[in-house]
Amino acid sequence: MRLIFRAYSREIIPDCIPGNLSRDAGFTIVEIVAVILVSAVMAAGVVTYISRASEGVVLAIELNQLSSAGRMAINRLAMELHNSLPNSIRTSPVSGGDQCIEFIPVRAATSYINPPFSGSGSTTFDVVDFTPSQHGISGGFAVIYPRNQSQIFDGDNGAVYANWPNFPNRRPIQEIQDIQDSASVDQSTVTLVTAHRFNRRSPNQRFFVVEQPVSYCVVGEKLYRYSDYGFFASQVTEEESGTCSVTPDPPDRCLPNYAAGPARKKVLITDSIDNSGITAFSIGTQSLQRNSLVKITFNMSNGVTSITLNHEVLTRSTP
């Protein structure tokens, strides 16, 4: 900025400003108030924007956490349902949002060669070798052509604890004692705990080795996985207070709880479920001609935020 000095005056005036400025120039009260009001409005807008952005971030984090927990539970259940015995999936009635889905998991499968279908039955028969091998493995249950759901769950047929489970003769299922290598090449010998006659031949000679049933239950806000509780013709749906046990005669029909013995298992899969008024598990028509869809619905909630997850699982119905 260039300054001009006038000889007849000691006043220094910037030459870039036209005319002279008054010594008392400044802001009026109206201008100050206007600036304050505009600044306040702008500040309020900025604060609101930041607040909503922060709330959006928090909401996104909460939804992601709920969704991740629900998806992990659904993926685990879906994987097990994919590997369930055909026609073994059943659900309990909905009670205030609580519900169970039960199925029989398959350990291994192959083709049978000469199982007993006539007479009084037999304790041994041969099957094509399993992949992976099942030689030396004991326990489990042999299943052929499980077309009748009530028969494959009928392990409490007049049974007492000493001889439970008690599968009747001429049924699609019987308990396995062990599986050993056969004298014939590429074959295995299956030995049952008692002489048994399977009631129907499989059109494709399918043979399954299965484990005890498994139940996934929505109980309140939690999802539990139950196992090692046995075969019951009527689906077991409720916990009992105290220790769940099969020692009395007839056996208690209850799912295992944390106070139960080591042979029984109850695992928490996830929490934060609010399924009030919602059907968690529903099954499409199961038939010998087509596969079925299982629909899973979980409403995940932390009390403030909620998200509903829906998933469909294609399951095998053709045995």
Last residue of a domain, one of 144, 179, 210: 210
Q: Label residue 126 by pLDDT band (50, 70, 90).
A: very high
Q: Are residues 224 and 95 in the same domain?
A: yes
State how far Cα 181 lies from the chain centre.
37
pLDDT score of 33 more than 90: no
CA gap 95, 104 in Å, rounded: 23
| Residue 134 and residue 108 in contact, taking contact as beta carbons nearer than 8 Å | yes
The answer to the question of residue 238 being in a domain is no
Q: Are residues 165 and 85 in the same domain?
A: no
Residue 7 confidence (pLDDT): 45
Q: How far is CA 147 from CA 132, 172, 199, 236, in A?
A: 26, 8, 11, 21
Residue 229 confidence (pLDDT): 80
**Number of domains forming the structure of the chain:** 2
Q: Are residues 204 and 220 in the same domain?
A: no
The answer to the question of residue 20 being in a domain is no
Residue 80 confidence (pLDDT): 96
The answer to the question of residue 15 being in a domain is no
Q: Are residues 96 and 175 in the same domain?
A: no
Q: Report, as an integer, the average pLDDT of 276-283.
A: 93
| Residue 223 and residue 217 in contact, taking contact as beta carbons nearer than 8 Å | yes
Q: Pinpoint the alpha helices (H) of the chain.
A: 29-82, 149-152
Percent of the chain at pLDDT exceeding 70: 78
Q: Are residues 69 and 133 in the same domain?
A: no
The answer to the question of residue 234 being in a domain is no
Q: Which residue has the higher pLDDT, 9 or 135?
A: 135
Q: Are residues 195 and 125 in the same domain?
A: yes
* Of residues 307, 302, 299, the one with CA closest to residue 277: 299
The answer to the question of residue 144 being in a domain is yes
The answer to the question of residue 114 being in a domain is yes
Q: Are residues 119 and 204 in the same domain?
A: yes
Residue ranges making up the domain that contains 291? 27-100+215-228+264-319
Residue 1 confidence (pLDDT): 45
Q: Are residues 165 and 139 in the same domain?
A: yes
Write the pLDDT tens digit of every residue in 36-95.
888 878 877 777 777 676 667 777 788 888 889 999 999 999 999 999 999 999 999 998
Q: Are residues 195 and 220 in the same domain?
A: no
Q: Are residues 82 and 224 in the same domain?
A: yes
Q: Are residues 190 and 220 in the same domain?
A: no
Write the pLDDT tens digit of every residue in 236-253.
765 555 555 555 555 556
Q: Are residues 165 and 307 in the same domain?
A: no
Question: In this predicted structure, which of 106-110, 116-120, 233-237, 291-295 has the lowest mean pLDDT?
Answer: 233-237
Strand 222-227 to 265-270 pairing = antiparallel
Residue 138 confidence (pLDDT): 83
φ, ψ (nearest 5 deg) of residue 191: -110, 125
Q: Which residue has the higher pLDDT, 219 or 17?
A: 219
